[in-house]
Structure 1
Amino acid sequence: MKKIIQFSALCLILSLILMASTSYALVFKEIKIGRYWDRVNDACHQAQREGRFGQYIHNSHGVLARGYMFNNTSTHIGCKDWTDPATGTVYEYWIGGAGHVAPNESNNFMPIVEEDGLTIHKYWRFEPPLVVVDGFRSSDPMRDGDEVDPGYIPGTADVMVESSVNTMLGITIHQRVYAWSQQNHDDYHIYDWTLTNTGNLDLDDEIETTQTIKDFYIAREGHYSNTWNSWHWWPSRVGEFPGDTLRASFIYPARSHTHAQDLLGDVRTSGNEIGYMRQAWAGGDATLFCSSAPNMLNIADDDPSQPRITATNDQDLTWDKPDAIYINAEDRQTCYNAMSQGTAAFTQFVQPDYPDALLAYPGSHHGITIDDMCLYGYDVRYPKDANLTTARHVSWQSYGPFTLEHGQSIRLVWARGAGSMTPEKIYEVGQAWRAGTAADLWEGDWHLPPPMEVYPELSPTDNDKAKDSWVTTSVDSFFRNVYNAQWNFRQGYQIPTAPPPPSLEVTSLPDGIRVTWGVESDAAPDLAGFRIYRAKGNYTPKISSGQMIGTWELITSVDKGTHTYTDETAERGQAYYYAVTAYDNGTNIPDVSAEDGHLIYPANQVLESSIYLNRTVVAAQLTRPAGNSLDEIRIVPNPFNINAVNLQYTGTNENMINFLDLPPVCTIRIFTESGDLIQTIEHTSESGDESWGGKLPQRHSATESGQRIVSGIYIAHFETPDGQSIIRKFVVVR
């Protein structure tokens, strides 16, 4: 009996594991072609379990410090008087969608499997460039569901990700996410949704219901923060009143109540990054379109009053956090009330509506933004003062109401992106603030968050005010970028494009580093030439030993028809990274301005492909000349101690075992002390050195089967093509 019970328990555990893997399948596509990166999942909801990825390249380490810009987002959909076709039960309020933590993909937001067996696809306008450094692939490979099909992508987007879901309301959501890589449009992605009342409540083709969906709302949330703690950020919004030209929900840096001094921007006061500001960016979503009525899907059919409901919410409320299938009737009603009336309709989180709400669109409800509460008589100096029950605030945007008859559709489009200073400017301002000279870098009136205007003690000195003004310009950058997205959408995604990027091969040589690129760009009729960029020390900006490394610099330009360049200025012992962009002649660009008046395209602007499409992430460095004799071969460091970084080579040689003064061509076989062959390396570069180890799997100091080598004595056998050979021993300590 005991064995039967144990077997039954095991079966139950296995079944739960299988159910979990079915309910929460992690299927996504990454978009990493410009300064803003994102991970798009097949179920559309982008909630914590499966989204949690947005990253922005204009910051420390090339992406946002501490991980993610959008920790998670979520979507709720709701209606009134919905009838369950299986039981005939009428629900006064019916909610579907994904909570922040546990979205269920089995019976709520259910990804639709296409004919090829996949639930999500990624389409390219051009062949993704192949990038190779010293024989090692440095670019991401094409994966299942990836294909090049420029004819299928609407407009001129460089990448499109597509998926669809059925939902527990019978609403089918078709999602397309578009991204561009040219310099005016690489700070955002556009999410384009069509929501149709198909009546399909599951994943088969049968239609379970043809009922009309009444008083339908879509609520979208975003936890726009790269940490769980939101006390370092002001959540804010624009576009809630007639005459506004941009509808956006976003965050930007705030001074935290936990800091005794003004560290707005998260100035590093100690450690390797001292003086750098990790949180000098702004990011969020901008609504570009919402249907004014069912089946009104064209650009001219936009309803400027949407979203009708906006507020700042607490992420951990019982009606909001869980998956909709798990909440009770009371929480369903509360969730629907929040969709239709705003968060001021209930008492769990008190955020009053604007007192001048009568100036807003009729039927809309807009909570006072937390950063503006001080302007309306509330003593809110820090985000914490806004009566949040936890340190996790989220934006709340609700669109509706709609009445959707069976077969009718609505469309919702938004841009997600970010903006900031350049890493170099961030570091310059942070260092000036530490030196007390930041005011020398700022001209004109201060540009501060409202609480710092109302409470001057929050930014007490001109030195503080200058730093804080620079940090707050991140909002201006964010606005500029999403205004560009708005203009892009209104052009039907038909915007100018740069020539396609070339493939790239980088070869380390004794007297220079050779950069060779392919002919993929040559087909562009307006191709003018190529630009070669180089980064030193790292392939993204970061602070190392008090200096910024990894910034990309233009080292030369060449006319079209040229496909190779040798960098003879490289210095021995340094790590170098390269990118080659293709640029056009600028003849197809007129003056183009966004709705706020800023110039998107100056006349005859030259467009170029993005360095993020073919930059190398594996370092190249000058190699040694080939040795004259096998007797000269050395192995360094020896012994190799993985923990003794100060005794290793730096740059590209860090964490590597290096074979020096080799002949131009030889085979290196590595054996254990007992004579077992564990790795074979073909040295064919005609240089005098070869490495074993590093960050890439191909270079790890590992056996042929991929196992990491253990501490011990190893034997290296070197053999030339003419049969000459020699043996060297080395020690590994782990």
Structure 2
Amino acid sequence: MIKKSAWLHTAFVVGLSLGFVGHALADETKWIAVGMLHDWYSSAGCEVEVGRTHLISDQQDGLRWPAQFKWQDCKAAKALWIGATDYYDPLVDRTFKVKVVHVGPRVLDEEHEFMPVEFKMYGRFDHPLVIVDGVPAGRLDYMDEVDEIDPTLVTGDPATGPDRMLYNVVNTSIGITMRRKIYAFSQQNHNNYFIYDYVFKNTGIIDKEGRKYEQTLNGVYFFFQYRYAPSREGGPYGYYWLPQSTSWGHNTINDARNEAPISVNPLVWPEDAPPRCLFSWHGLHSKAGFDNIGGPYFGGDGHLGAAQYVGVVTLHADKSPDDPSDDPFQPTTTQYLQSDLPITSGNDQFNAEKMMKEYEVMAGGHPAVRHADDVGCPTPIDCHAYADTYVRSGDPGNPGGYTQGQGFGPYVLEPGDSVHIVVAEA
């Protein structure tokens, strides 16, 4: 730990030399491609819009299922925001009413905000090697790249455990270090989902040099955003029989279940609790000209090009740093937000006014009406409204569709404290 005065002098010098670049790009990506579900991941700890190739044609990129078929991408963007209240920021010698650091949906700064420490792929075995005329000819040569083989990965038993584990450690400028483990399986009954195991620890590390400023963090939220767009096949960057804006999720329907427990009966919670989950699907689009639920190849063979349901389920969230039991009331926020709101781009960890607006969403609780119900599409069978023309009350419009969010908190993290959150995505 360094004293406040020494830290401020050092931060000033470093700030002059680096210019506090707002959108530094030094990202490393890796694929998990061992089962029927394939996705790419960023060393920054979350995956921003067009973050792998930076090409508009890859607006839908990743979360491919079933991955043996072409253009099954369902992911448009993700984000992870971490916020705290009454935060003294040693970087600028100022106390913010709320402080928020960001990776995604459109910002990425691995120099000053989400700073990778480790990014490594472990596998119980390597991928098959396909050789044609002496030349490697398998897609997995370029996608399923294992850094280290461990036949007893995670469980210590070669007969059990995941077949891949992506290990990712990231320091953030708010003083919280994230450790992310992503597990994937090739077994046929478990090859269509990933498990995300997060530990968020108040280490006090706030820059790439590893300098610390220790303080208790209050009102801490971990807010994840999921902008889904099933799927690329029928859109403009696939075979293009669906409207262009399906590629950014303009017509995506978002829904949630069991946001808060109906009962706190210890015989029911948490062991027998229904899953706390979020999920999305391809809704009606006003410009399709036909019933596009499921993305049928209208005018062709009629096969479904967007049959996927995609989403996440909460498996565990600590009640507090002192109580590692699962909290059935987490996530406490399941707000959905318009994907092109000002707070979804140009995020700045020193902009007090904008961070306040971000934190209001992060701590916004559960919406009175879920997105699917407000649109008028509680199920694909009972869907009678266009998602792309829907505008939530109070929003300026709907040019980009809606993103589903979920926030875990508020937590109080003293120096050295940590919380454990586990979700699965399919």
Could you say which TM-score interval applies, normalised by the shorter chain?
0.7 to 0.9
Q: Which amino acid aligns with 1:391?
A: G
Q: Name 1:287's counterpart in structure 2.
A: 314
- C-alpha contact (below 8 Å) 2:31/2:145 kept by paired residues: no
- How far apart are 1:337 and its partner, in Å? 1.2
Q: Which moved more, 1:328-337 or 1:252-261?
A: 252-261
CA separation in 1, counterparts of 2:285 and 2:401?
Answer: 14
CA separation in 2, counterparts of 1:50 and 1:277?
Answer: 28
- Say if 1:255 and 1:405 are closer, same or farther in 2 by CA, change over 3 A: same
CA separation in 2, counterparts of 1:311 and 1:253?
Answer: 19
**Equivalent residue of 2:187, what SS?**
coil
TM alignment of 1:316-715, pairs within 5 A? 316-325=340-349, 328-340=351-363, 342=364, 364-373=365-374, 374=376, 381-383=385-387, 384-387=389-392, 388-417=397-426
CA separation in 2, counterparts of 1:76 and 1:205?
Answer: 21
Asked whether 1:278 is paired with 2:271, we answer no
> Whose relative contact order is higher, 1 or 2, with alpha carbons under 8 Å and at least 6 apart?
2
Q: Which amino acid aligns with 2:95?
A: V
**Equivalent residue of 1:371, what SS?**
helix
- C-alpha contact (below 8 Å) 2:87/2:98 kept by paired residues: yes
Q: What TM-score does the superposition give when structure 2 sets the normalisation length?
A: 0.78
- How far apart are 1:264 and its partner, in Å? 1.9
Q: Which amino acid aligns with 2:400?
A: A
CA separation in 2, counterparts of 1:221 and 1:165?
Answer: 18
Q: Name 2:36's counterpart in structure 1.
A: 35
CA separation in 1, counterparts of 2:63 and 2:216?
Answer: 40
- Say if 1:62 and 1:339 are closer, same or farther in 2 by CA, change over 3 A: same
CA separation in 1, counterparts of 2:293 and 2:90?
Answer: 54
- C-alpha contact (below 8 Å) 1:100/1:322 kept by paired residues: no
- How far apart are 1:307 and its partner, in Å? 0.8
CA separation in 1, counterparts of 2:44 and 2:169?
Answer: 7
Q: Name 2:235's counterpart in structure 1.
A: none
Asked whether 1:93 is paired with 2:93, we answer no
- How far apart are 1:380 and its partner, in Å? 7.4
- C-alpha contact (below 8 Å) 1:231/1:382 kept by paired residues: no
TM alignment of 1:5-154, pairs within 5 A? 23-50=24-51, 53-58=61-66, 62-65=69-72, 68-112=73-117, 119-139=118-138, 140-141=140-141, 146-154=147-155
- C-alpha contact (below 8 Å) 1:56/1:64 kept by paired residues: yes
CA separation in 1, counterparts of 2:70 and 2:194?
Answer: 16
CA separation in 2, counterparts of 1:313 and 1:153?
Answer: 37
- Say if 1:335 and 1:57 are closer, same or farther in 2 by CA, change over 3 A: closer
- C-alpha contact (below 8 Å) 1:99/1:324 kept by paired residues: no
Q: Name 1:198's counterpart in structure 2.
A: 203
- Say if 1:324 and 1:87 are closer, same or farther in 2 by CA, change over 3 A: closer
Q: Name 1:697's counterpart in structure 2.
A: none
- How far apart are 1:325 and its partner, in Å? 2.7
CA separation in 2, counterparts of 1:144 and 1:158?
Answer: 13
CA separation in 2, counterparts of 1:257 and 1:292?
Answer: 44
Match of residue 248, structure 1, among 264, 277, 287: 277
CA separation in 2, counterparts of 1:249 and 1:64?
Answer: 23
- How far apart are 1:30 and its partner, in Å? 0.7
- C-alpha contact (below 8 Å) 1:72/1:222 kept by paired residues: yes
Asked whether 1:259 is paired with 2:264, we answer no
Q: Name 1:221's counterpart in structure 2.
A: 225
**Equivalent residue of 1:53, what SS?**
coil
- How far apart are 1:104 and its partner, in Å? 0.9
- How far apart are 1:107 and its partner, in Å? 0.5
Q: What TM-score does the superposition give when structure 1 sets the normalisation length?
A: 0.46
CA separation in 1, counterparts of 2:418 and 2:277?
Answer: 24
Q: Which amino acid aligns with 1:292?
A: K
- How far apart are 1:40 and its partner, in Å? 1.3
CA separation in 1, counterparts of 2:188 and 2:366?
Answer: 37
Cα deviations across residues 445-470 of structure 1 (Å, max 9, x unaligned)? xxxxxxxxxxxxxxxxxxxxxxxxxx
**Equivalent residue of 1:319, what SS?**
helix
Cα deviations across residues 202-229 of structure 1 (Å, max 9, x unaligned)? 122332x111000100110011114434
CA separation in 2, counterparts of 1:245 and 1:296?
Answer: 22
**Equivalent residue of 1:338, what SS?**
helix
Superposition RMSD on alpha carbons, in Å? 2.8
- Say if 1:180 and 1:195 are closer, same or farther in 2 by CA, change over 3 A: same
**Equivalent residue of 2:355, what SS?**
helix
Cα deviations across residues 614-667 of structure 1 (Å, max 9, x unaligned)? xxxxxxxxxxxxxxxxxxxxxxxxxxxxxxxxxxxxxxxxxxxxxxxxxxxxxx
CA separation in 1, counterparts of 2:105 and 2:210?
Answer: 29
TM alignment of 1:138-177, pairs within 5 A? 138-139=137-138, 140-141=140-141, 146-154=147-155, 156-177=161-182
- C-alpha contact (below 8 Å) 2:76/2:249 kept by paired residues: no
Cα deviations across residues 152-182 of structure 1 (Å, max 9, x unaligned)? 5346100001111111110000111110000
**Equivalent residue of 1:268, what SS?**
coil
Unaligned runs of 5+ in 1: 1-14, 113-118, 343-363, 418-734
- Say if 1:106 and 1:82 are closer, same or farther in 2 by CA, change over 3 A: same
- How far apart are 1:393 and its partner, in Å? 1.1
CA separation in 2, counterparts of 1:64 and 1:221?
Answer: 23
- Say if 1:141 and 1:294 are closer, same or farther in 2 by CA, change over 3 A: same
- C-alpha contact (below 8 Å) 2:334/2:407 kept by paired residues: yes
CA separation in 1, counterparts of 2:377 and 2:400?
Answer: 22
CA separation in 1, counterparts of 2:124 and 2:322?
Answer: 29
CA separation in 2, counterparts of 1:160 and 1:240?
Answer: 29
TM alignment of 1:174-185, pairs within 5 A? 174-185=179-190
Q: Which moved more, 1:167-176 or 1:274-283?
A: 274-283
Q: Name 1:515's counterpart in structure 2.
A: none
Match of residue 238, structure 1, among 244, 257, 268: 257
Match of residue 303, structure 1, among 327, 337, 359: 327
CA separation in 2, counterparts of 1:131 and 1:213?
Answer: 51
Q: Which amino acid aligns with 2:362?
A: M
- How far apart are 1:401 and its partner, in Å? 0.3
Q: Which amino acid aligns with 1:202?
A: D
- How far apart are 1:200 and its partner, in Å? 0.4
CA separation in 2, counterparts of 1:73 and 1:402?
Answer: 22
- Say if 1:178 and 1:296 are closer, same or farther in 2 by CA, change over 3 A: farther
- C-alpha contact (below 8 Å) 1:192/1:412 kept by paired residues: yes
CA separation in 2, counterparts of 1:40 and 1:406?
Answer: 29
- Say if 1:238 and 1:44 are closer, same or farther in 2 by CA, change over 3 A: same
Q: Name 2:243's counterpart in structure 1.
A: none
CA separation in 1, counterparts of 2:65 and 2:282?
Answer: 17
Q: Which amino acid aligns with 1:338?
A: V
Cα deviations across residues 3-24 of structure 1 (Å, max 9, x unaligned)? xxxxxxxxxxxx99xx79x921
CA separation in 1, counterparts of 2:166 and 2:227?
Answer: 22
Percent identity between matched residues is 27
